[in-house]
Amino acid sequence: MERVIIHVDMDYFYAAIEEREDPSLKDKAVVVCMYSNRGEEGGAVSTSNYIAREAGIRSAMPCKQAKSLKPDAVFLPVRKELYENVSARVMDILRSHADSEENFENISIDEAFLEISQNCGRDFEKARYIGMRVKHDVLEHEKLTCSVGIGPNKLIAKMASSFRKPDGMTIVKPDEVRDFLNDMPVNRLWGIGKVTGEKLKKMSIETIGQLAACDTQELIAEFGKKRGTWLKKAASGIDESPVTERTATDQIGRMASLKEDTRNDDMIFALLDELADDVIKKAESRKVSFRTVIMTVIFSNFRMATKSRTFSHAVSGKDILHETAREIMLQFLHESNMDFRRIGIRVTNLQQDVGQKSLLEYF
């Protein structure tokens, strides 16, 4: 049965809340910074408003660099609790537009999926009207703008919401999916990270259309069965994952101390690979895939930091976990000068590996 899914992503969320709280910021460049324990110099940019982005400022950039790009920008510290409260209220508004409470999925502090198949009677024109109502309600109640994507599945809805930003709405009907994806650079496909993007580039696959035209077996040979199959399907605009409220608290994790406090990446990666292998063994014995990887580092001064990555689809296997864990670990190393004491890796959003459809059912 055809579905209609909305994805909503709030515009420059933390900075927009700061603007709302202090209207004098309105026409200024606003940069929200996550300061580290080394004070203002060590922080990274959480987000910035669009005026600041015009100067080249981006999320995760060192605040110091942002300052040099736009010295007259207003730099503000993250106020996470405030943003979480606003997020909870926004999510209530969004949830009220979904077919039912269960047809709502909050995927991050500023994003959610809503299934509206029933509410719009599977009619994309009615869906457009619901999309406008969503935007109107969020603006009226919270004085914030958001961008909306509407499509026949989560993958397309998610990619549509980022197509026109800020304050945009993009509707991709089932018969428009192919054109929508065809010429986009392959790394714009939701779920493709840097490493996969580079691998594909080496295979001379630059656009999503080229990926969709690829031989599935060739992709499986390169990326393994699960990921190869997913790449082919996603590039073809196929995504059957349901919109479901997240309740999973289930997770598999390992944590261990390094032999000594260190920033030596050989030592850190060796332990990381060991931990990742243990996690994969446990996941395999329980026959589960995972969607989220969470990494924890405890520094020599006992401060703790956490980072995570959520995939658009369940993944499994050693390679993807190693790859993701290493990517996240490199970010930790990049963002801090401190020695590492302990490291941990967890996978969550587990999904039982049963009844996997074979490729032949799709093509």
Binding site for ligand DCP (CB under 6 A): 9-14, 46-47, 59-60, 109-110, 165-166
Closer residue to ligand DCP, CB minimum distance, 164 or 201: 164
- In the DSSP assignment, the letter for residue 273 is H
- In the list ligand DCP, Mg ion, none, the entry touching 166 (Cβ below 5 to 8 angstroms by class) is ligand DCP
Q: How far is the CB of 174 from Mg ion (least distance, A)?
A: 25
Report d(CA 19, CA 26) in Å as an integer. 6
As a whole number of angstroms, the distance between CA 110 and CA 325 comes to 24
The one catalytic residue in 19, 111, 115, 335 is: 111
Among 9, 18, 19, 115, binds Mg ion (CB under 5 A): 9
Should residue 10 be labelled a site residue for Mg ion when binding is judged by CB under 5 A? Answer: yes
Nearest distance, CB of residue 198 and Mg ion, angstroms:
24
- In the complex with ligand DCP, which residue's Cβ is closer, 144 or 279? 144
The nearer residue to ligand DCP, 60 or 255, going by C-beta atoms, is 60
Q: What sections of the chain are H helices per DSSP?
A: 13-21, 50-54, 63-69, 80-95, 124-142, 154-161, 177-182, 194-202, 208-212, 216-223, 225-235, 265-285, 318-335
The reply on whether position 8 binds Mg ion by CB under 5 A is no
CB of 91 to Mg ion, least distance (A): 13
**Plot region of 8 (φ>0 → left; ψ -120 to 50 → alpha; else → beta):** beta
Is 102 a residue of the active site? no
CB of 274 to ligand DCP, least distance (A): 28
Residue 83 is encoded by which pair of tokens?
Answer: 């943003």
Quick one: 110 or 345, whose CB is closer to Mg ion? 110
Give φ, ψ of 122 to 5 degrees. Answer: 60, 25
Q: Using CB atoms within 10 A of its CB, is residue 331 exposed (0-12), middle (13-18) or buried (19+)?
A: middle
- Contact between 111 and Mg ion per CB under 5 A: yes
Enumerate the active-site residues: 111
